[in-house]
């Protein structure tokens, strides 16, 4: 069994979202992760904080945030077990963030040996 | 992997609690900082719980994270830092932030927030908006939806209301004994308006409508939980709202139009709410005083009684006679005539109605149409047509048009 990382790229979420909306997202994300875990194919995952994000360039210059001109940014990832990239992509299709237009999930194989 | 579900509305409930406690800790002038800290806390939960499972004690997790978020805010060195640091941090324990999330302080803070939000210097409209945002944890979209407005308008209204909180230097504290009755009456009035906003809302979104009613009830329960505010009027208002709430499902048809009382399917009445309404009515009668909430709740109680009960309409008429003495409004007067017709018949009720002569009030013409309906179809249609001219909302107009077309068949 191979391992794949599913990278979430979506718009930056700010604090102006209602508590009930956040809870709704939470519920959907949990259901999706649990559906993968139920098949024993979930390895790990996390969200990535926007606060105090830094970008370091080749001149070792440190700037705040990876955002710049790009609205879309890396918001988190999960790692799943799958026999092929296609199976991993099937898992990705269920990702709640894909309800947002312009959001994407990138599927990449992790080198395990 | 912990697969336990999140408590329904956990974030909405905790929003109100946490913002109230934080605002009490460092002052209402920093309410937006408090809101930011709480929102950031929820977003952090969103980045963690789906992968690590819901914590054993979700509220405690949120409180700990909120305290850490507060530390981050304090370390950023703005004006908030200078003022809040002095209040929150013990000098001998520099890193210890003193935020009290005990049950007692949470409910005290929410109650004080309710009194602050319903301060007489803030317009009623803004009071309702603030209460919905801060104390009910509703989003701009949800509030805008119920007011048939847009996000920007609601945002501006909230901003103005918050500026009022600062400029009037309103404090998070309970009014003293000399003011409590007066201030509580404003709070109750706002809660009742919030309830009516949901009950009579023109919004097509019936979920939002119900939510407002539920939130109004929740604010009422908050007042009942404190001996200082658990009094005759609070119980009477709770009773009134519960009786109304029992008919929430019955008064809306499948396509969102209003179903009048006489046409309602009684099996859709919520008996649990009726029982609660009756309980609070009894509670409020323990005080040997009366109030318009109490009389209105008593009317609402009689409306749950079957039409075959001979005491029903005479009792309702008597209550409207009393209510008219203190509240001589067109709505009360028209409702009284309706009760009058049930006791004395339509012919004498028509005479009573014509004494009112409310020539620009569409309810006046709807009432006259209803009184003529059993005997005179052409007069009924005439009055409905006049009602149509003065009715203000599309829902009402639609309801009247339907009645006219039925009569023309």
Residue B88 has a pLDDT of 59
Of B1, B47, B137, the CB nearest to A19: B137
Q: Is the pLDDT reported for residue B206 higher than 90?
A: no
C-alpha torsion angle, residues A57, A59, A64, A70 (rounded to 10)? -40
Please give the mean pLDDT across all residues of chain B.
88
What is the SS3 assignment for B155? helix
* Chain A contact set for B141 (CB, 8 A): 18
Whether A1 has a pLDDT exceeding 90, the answer reads no
Q: Does B7 touch chain A (CB under 8 A)?
A: no
Find chain A residues with C-beta within 8 A of B15's C-beta.
Answer: 19
The segment with the largest mean pLDDT, out of A39-43, B170-174, B387-391, is A39-43
Of A18-32, B57-71, B145-159, the least confident: B145-159
Q: What domains are defined for chain A?
A: 2-110 (3.30.70.1060)
- The average pLDDT across B136-157 equals 85
- With 0-12 CB in 10 A as exposed, 13-18 as middle and 19+ as buried, what is A24? middle
Inter-chain contact A45–B51, Cβ cutoff 8 Å? yes
- Pick from A17, A44, A51: CB nearest B51: A44
Higher-confidence position of B339 and B142: B339
Asked if A60 and B27 count as a contact pair (C-beta separation under 8 A), the reply is no
Q: Is the pLDDT of residue B121 over 50?
A: yes
**pLDDT tens column, A71-91:** 668 889 999 999 999 999 999
pLDDT confidence of residue B124: 86
Nearest to A33 among B51, B72, B139 (CB): B51
Is the pLDDT assigned to residue B264 strictly greater than 70? Answer: yes
Using the 8-state DSSP alphabet, how is residue B397 labeled? H
Q: What is the mean pLDDT of residues A90-100?
A: 94
DSSP A97: G
Task: Please report which confidence band the pLDDT of residue B2 belongs to, taking 50, 70 and 90 as the band edges.
Answer: very low
Does A64 contact B at CB distance below 8 Å? no
Position A113 pLDDT exceeds 80: no
Mean pLDDT of B164-183: 90
Q: Which residue has the tokens 């308008």?
A: B153
Helices and strands, number each (H, E), in chain A: 2, 6
Q: Any chain A CB within 8 A of the CB of B212?
A: no
> DSSP for B312-342?
HHHHHHHHHHHHHHH---HHHHHHHHHHHHH
* Contact (CB<8Å) B3/A34: yes
Summarize pLDDT for B297-342 with one digit per residue, the tens.
Answer: 999 999 999 888 999 999 999 999 999 998 888 889 999 999 999 9
- DSSP bridge partners of A71: none
pLDDT at B77: 61
Residue with more model confidence, B325 or A65? B325
Q: Look at residue B246 in the predicted model and tell me its pLDDT.
A: 92
Whether residues B46 and A26 touch (CB distance < 8 A) is answered with yes
Q: How far apart are CA B357 and CA B359, in angstroms?
A: 6
**% of chain B exceeding 70 in pLDDT:** 91
Q: Which of B50, B134, B137, B151 to mutate to test the interface with A (most CBs of A within 10 A)?
A: B50
The pLDDT-based confidence of A101 (bands split at 50, 70, 90) is confident
- What is the pLDDT averaged over residues B151-156? 90
Q: For residue range B228-238, what is the model confidence (pLDDT) as tens digits?
A: 999 999 999 99
Query: Is A110 within 8 Å of A3 (Cβ atoms)?
Result: yes
- pLDDT at position B91 is 47
Written as one string, the DSSP assignment of B265-309 is -GGGS-HHHHHHHHHHHHHHTTSS---HHHHHHHHHHHHTS-TT-
Segment of A33-42, A61-70, B184-193 carrying the highest mean pLDDT: A33-42
Structure-token pair, residue B195 = 């309830």
User: What percentage of chain A has pLDDT greater than the value 90?
Assistant: 64
User: Region B259-287: what's the mean pLDDT?
Assistant: 90
pTM score, whole prediction:
0.83
What average pLDDT does the segment B250-261 reach? Answer: 74
pLDDT value for B86: 58
> Band of the pLDDT at B148, cuts 50, 70, 90?
confident
Check if the beta carbon of residue B159 is closer than 8 Å to that of residue B35. Answer: no
Average pLDDT over residues B37-58: 93
pLDDT digits (tens, 9 = 90+) for B216-226: 999 999 999 99
**Paired tokens of B98:** 């003193």
């Amino acid at each position: 069994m191979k391992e794949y990382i599913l990278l979430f790229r979506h718009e930056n979420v700010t604090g102006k979202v209602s508590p009930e909306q956040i809870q709704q997202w939470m519920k959907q994300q949990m259901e999706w992760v649990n559906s993968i875990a139920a098949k024993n194919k979930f390895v790990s995952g996390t969200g990535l904080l926007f606060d105090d994000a830094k970008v370091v360039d080749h001149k070792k210059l440190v700037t705040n945030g990876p955002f710049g001109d790009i609205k879309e940014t890396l918001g988190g990832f999960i790692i799943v077990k799958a026999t092929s990239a296609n199976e991993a992509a099937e898992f990705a299709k269920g990702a709640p963030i894909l309800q947002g237009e312009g959001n994407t999930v990138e599927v990449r194989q992790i080198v395990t040996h | 992997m912990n697969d336990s579900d999140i408590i329904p509305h956990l974030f909405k409930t905790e929003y109100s609690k946490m913002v109230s406690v934080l605002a009490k800790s460092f002052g209402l002038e920093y309410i937006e900082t408090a809101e930011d800290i709480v929102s950031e806390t929820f977003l952090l939960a969103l980045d963690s719980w789906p992968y690590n499972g819901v914590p054993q004690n979700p509220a405690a997790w949120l409180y700990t994270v909120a305290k850490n978020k507060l530390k981050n805010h304090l370390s950023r060195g703005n004006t908030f830092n200078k003022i809040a640091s002095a209040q929150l941090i013990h000098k001998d324990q520099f890193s210890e932030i003193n935020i009290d999330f005990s049950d007692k302080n949470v409910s005290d803070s929410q109650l004080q927030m309710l009194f602050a939000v319903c301060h007489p210097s803030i317009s009623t409209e803004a009071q309702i908006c603030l209460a919905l945002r801060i104390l009910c944890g509703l989003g701009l979209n949800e509030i805008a939806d119920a007011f048939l407005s847009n996000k920007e308008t609601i945002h501006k209204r909230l901003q103005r209301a918050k500026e009022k909180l600062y400029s009037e230097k309103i404090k998070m504290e309970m009014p003293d004994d000399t003011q409590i009755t007066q201030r509580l009456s404003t709070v109750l009035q706002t809660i009742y308006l919030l309830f009516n906003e949901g009950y009579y809302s023109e919004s097509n979104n019936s979920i939002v409508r119900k939510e407002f009613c539920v939130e109004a009830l929740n604010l009422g329960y908050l007042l009942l939980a404190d001996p200082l505010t658990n009094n005759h009027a609070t119980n009477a208002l709770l009773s009134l709202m519960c009786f109304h709430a029992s008919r929430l499902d019955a008064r809306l048809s499948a396509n969102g139009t209003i179903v009048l009382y006489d046409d309602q399917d009684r099996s859709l009445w919520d008996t649990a709410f009726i029982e609660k309404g009756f309980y609070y009515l009894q509670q409020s009668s323990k005080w040997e005083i009366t109030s318009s909430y109490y009389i209105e709740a008593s009317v609402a109680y009689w409306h749950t009684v079957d039409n075959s009960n001979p005491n029903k309409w005479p009792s309702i008429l008597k209550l409207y006679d009393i209510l008219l003495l203190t509240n001589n409004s067109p709505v009360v007067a028209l409702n009284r005539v309706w009760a009058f017709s049930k006791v004395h018949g339509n012919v004498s009720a028509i005479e009573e109605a014509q004494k009112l002569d409310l020539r620009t009030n569409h309810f006046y013409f709807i009432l006259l149409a209803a009184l003529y309906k059993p005997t005179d179809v052409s007069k009924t249609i005439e009055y409905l047509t006049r009602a149509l001219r003065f009715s203000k909302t599309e829902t009402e107009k639609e309801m009247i048009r339907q009645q006219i077309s039925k009569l023309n068949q």
